[in-house]
Amino acid sequence: MERRNYCFLTVAACLLVSGAPAQILPQITLTVNCAAGQKVGSILKALEVLPRPATVNIQGVCTEPVLITRDDLTLRGTTATDGLRLPPGSGTVLSIDGARRVVLNRMRLDGGAVGLAATGGASFTASDLLVTGGQRTGVSVTMNASGRLSSSTVENVSENALLVQSNGSLWISGSRVLNSVSNAGWVDQGGQLMLTEGTVVRNAGGSFNALTAREGGSITVDHATVECGSTAASGAYAFTGGTVVIAVGGLIQSCQGGWWWMGAVRNSVGGSPTTRGAFMSGTEAAS
C-alpha cells in the first residue's frame, strides 16, 4: 500500500496517514491574533481533525462567540486583558458543550447574555478569569457538566452571576463574585455550588437573595464570605427542597432585608451568625 504524508505547517503538526496507526505530535500550540482579524472559532474548527491535546493562545480581544466541543483543549490569553467579547445581551461568549478536560486560563470574557456556559457533561478547570458584564448570567453550569473556578472574578452581571442546574456542579475557590443585580448564585434541579477557600461574594442579591437553592439544588459556604447588597432579601435562601450548608468558616453578613427577607437567622451548621443572614425553608444540613 502506498504511504502518503500530509503536513499541516500552519499548526506545526504532521500527520502520517497509512494503513498503520498514524504517528502524531502529542501537543499542538497555536496563537490567534485578534487585531489581525484571526478568529478563535476558525482555529477550533480546524483542530477538530487534528490530534489532541492542543493549546490556543489568544492575543488581543476577539469579538465572536466561541464554542468548544473538543476534549483536552487549553484556551488562554497572552495577557490578562486578552480574551473574547460580545455586545451586551447577544448570545454566549464562551460555550463548552460535551468537551472534557478543558482548561481556561488568564483571560477576559466580556458582555453577551452569558459569559461562560458549560453543558452536556462537559468538564473544565479555569483560573485567572475575568467574567464581566453578562446581560443574564456570568457562569452557567448545566446538564451534568462540572467546573472548577479559581483565582477569578465574576462581576457586574445583570441577573444571576452563577447559575447551576440539571445536575451540574461548580466549585469556586479563592475567587470574587461582585455586584450581581439578581442572585449571586441560583442553584436548582440537582445542581451543586461550593464556595470555598477564601471566596468572597460582595454586593450581592440586588432586591433578591445573595444565594438561592431550590428543587434539589445545594449550596455550601465553607471558608467563604457572602455580603449582601443594600437591598438584598437574605444571604442564603433555600426552599422547595433546596439545601444550604453554612460550614465552619462560612460567613453571611450585611443583609439588610427586602421583600424576600423572612426575618430570621438560621445558623446551626457551624458558620458565623450575623443579623439577617440566612433563611431556610428547605433542608438545613449539618456540616
Q: Which amino acid appears at position 205 of this protein?
A: G
Task: Output the pLDDT for position 22.
Answer: 46
Please name every residue paired with 240 in a beta bridge, in sequence order, or none if there are none: none
For 21, other C-beta atoms within 10 Å of its C-beta total 7
Strands (E), 87-183: 92-97, 102-111, 114-119, 123-132, 137-141, 146-150, 153-155, 160-164, 169-173, 176-178
Task: Output the pLDDT for position 17.
Answer: 32
Q: The domain 64-284: what is its CATH number?
A: 2.160.20
C-alpha cell at 147: 467546573
Which residue, chain included where needed, has cell 455550588?
A: 193
What radius of gyration do the chain's Cα atoms show? 21
What are the angstrom distances between the C-alpha of 133 and each of 31, 148, 153, 168, 180? 26, 21, 11, 23, 10
By C-alpha distance, which of 188, 143, 134, 141 is closest to 161?
134
Residues recorded for the chain: 287
Task: Output the pLDDT for position 215.
Answer: 87
Instruction: Spell out the domain ranges in the chain.
Output: 64-284
d(CA 228, CA 212): 13
pLDDT tens, per residue, the chain with 287 residues: 333 332 333 444 433 333 444 454 568 999 999 999 999 999 999 998 887 799 999 999 999 999 999 999 999 999 999 999 999 889 999 999 999 999 999 999 999 999 999 999 999 999 999 999 999 999 999 999 999 999 999 999 999 999 999 999 999 999 999 998 888 999 999 999 999 999 999 888 776 788 888 888 999 989 998 888 766 667 788 778 888 888 878 888 777 543 233 322 333 344 433 333 444 444 444 33
Are 108 and 133 within 8 A, CB to CB? no
Concatenated DSSP letters for 52-93? S-EEEEEESEEES-EEE--SSEEEEESSTT-EEEE-TTSSEE
Q: What are phi and psi of 283, to 5 degrees?
A: -95, 130
Please name every residue paired with 219 in a beta bridge, in sequence order, or none if there are none: 193, 244
Which residue, chain included where needed, has cell 491535546?
A: 53
